[in-house]
């Protein structure tokens, strides 16, 4: 085995959490409370240590650190932010709005 571990992040419109899955074992290795729910394209890895989630129907983003299920930072704006993305190094976070 080469020691590489692959993970997948998932969210659902049915619950209010983000799950991190180990793709080798198919076990949940971490979870984050994303209440209210995170929508499609509203989830992004931000560097090696952070996860960014937008709130589906609110003008807000939350930033999570691995190992903590509650947000370490919250941001809000003038309108909802359905899409988020991050640079690979985690230095830039971008949110897209409807206008």
60 and 75 Cβ atoms separated by less than 8 Å: yes
In a domain, 2, yes or no: no
Of 82, 32, 85, which Cα lies nearest the Cα of 58? 82
DSSP states of 81-92: --EEEE-TTSS-
- Would residue 16 count as lying in a domain? yes
The domain containing residue 76 runs over which residues? 7-96
Q: Are 56 and 36 in contact (CB under 8 A)?
A: yes
**Residue 1 forms part of a structural domain:** no
pLDDT digits (tens, 9 = 90+) for 2-23: 678 788 888 876 777 888 899 9
Query: Residue 21 in contact with residue 29, Cβ under 8 Å?
Result: yes
Q: How many domains is the chain built from?
A: 1
Give the mean pLDDT of 66-95.
88
CB 81 within 8 A of CB 68: no
DSSP 60: E
Residue 34 lies in a domain: yes
18 found inside a domain? yes
- pLDDT tens for residues 21-66? 999 999 998 888 766 677 788 888 888 888 898 887 888 888 999 8
């Amino acid at each position: 085995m080469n020691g590489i571990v692959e993970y997948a992040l998932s969210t659902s419109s049915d619950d209010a959490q983000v799950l991190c899955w180990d793709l080798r074992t198919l076990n949940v290795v971490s979870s984050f409370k994303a209440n209210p729910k995170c929508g499609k394209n509203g989830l992004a890895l931000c560097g090696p240590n952070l996860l960014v989630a937008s709130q589906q129907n609110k003008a807000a983003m939350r930033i999570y650190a691995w190992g903590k299920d509650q947000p370490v930072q919250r941001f809000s704006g003038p309108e909802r932010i359905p899409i988020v993305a991050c640079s690979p190094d985690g230095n830039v976070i971008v949110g897209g709005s409807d206008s």
